[in-house]
């Protein structure tokens, strides 16, 4: 789905600063769970969304618990969340009228999940610890399913108009490429 692949310099940076990536990853999982609950609060009338977001919040919370366990095993503690300039940059492109906002929120969530999938896959390939590599491979598969879920819900939110959803998705993916370039390389998931 993504227009721009992650810069090849990201993986060496992430591996060299893996503790920082773990802390950032914990914040990402926390925000993913919170976003699922926010979607449930905002759009309870969208068919299939409530049950899917309840499951997603539970799954993301379980991922958070696993990342926190990894951090504890390494003697790391969760720091205050400094925010994510990548996600913030994408949010600037969400339209404000209610129907368009709902579709855009779902598509931005799909894009974030797609980028997470790509980067978690890179970590799975680059980590030398077999247990960590397996863990990140499992998470990447999960993120792949999440991006599909959010895209499906966006189509539902637009009354099945997949063509208009995909046109909007292409626009948002162009913006995502720009946001990614603006944020630059960081020892973070996004």
pLDDT digits (tens, 9 = 90+) for 74-90: 999 999 999 999 999 99
Crossing angle of helices 98-126 and 18-42, in 10° steps, is 150
Within 8 A by CB and 6+ apart from 124, the residues are: 133, 134, 136, 137, 139, 140
Three-class DSSP category at 140: helix
**Averaged pLDDT of the chain:** 97
Predicted pLDDT of residue 115: 98
Predicted pLDDT of residue 22: 97
Q: Residue 15 phi/psi, 5° resolution?
A: -70, -35
Q: Per CATH, the architecture of 9-183 is what?
A: Up-down Bundle (1.20)
Mean pLDDT over 112-136 rounds to 98
Give the integer Cα–Cα distance in Å for 173 and 175: 5
Mean pLDDT over 38-42 rounds to 98
Provide the residue ranges of all domains of the chain, joining segments of one domain with +: 9-183
Predicted pLDDT of residue 135: 97
């Amino acid at each position: 789905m993504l227009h721009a692949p992650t810069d090849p310099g990201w993986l060496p940076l992430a591996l060299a600063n893996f503790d920082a990536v773990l802390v950032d990853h914990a914040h990402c999982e926390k925000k993913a769970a919170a976003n699922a609950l926010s979607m449930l609060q905002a759009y309870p009338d969208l068919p299939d969304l409530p049950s899917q977001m309840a499951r997603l919040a539970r799954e993301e919370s379980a991922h958070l618990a696993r990342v926190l366990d990894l951090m504890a095993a390494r003697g790391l503690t969760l720091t205050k969340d400094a925010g994510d300039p990548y996600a913030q940059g994408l949010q600037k492109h969400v339209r404000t009228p209610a129907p368009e906002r709902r579709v855009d929120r779902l598509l931005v969530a799909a894009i974030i999940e797609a980028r997470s999938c790509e980067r978690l896959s890179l970590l799975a390939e680059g980590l030398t610890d077999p247990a960590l590599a397996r863990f990140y491979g499992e998470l990447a598969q999960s993120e792949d399913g999440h991006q599909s879920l959010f895209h499906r819900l966006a189509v539902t939110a637009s009354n099945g108009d997949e063509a208009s959803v995909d046109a909007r998705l292409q626009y948002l993916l162009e913006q995502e490429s720009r946001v990614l370039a603006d944020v630059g390389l960081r020892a973070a998931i996004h």
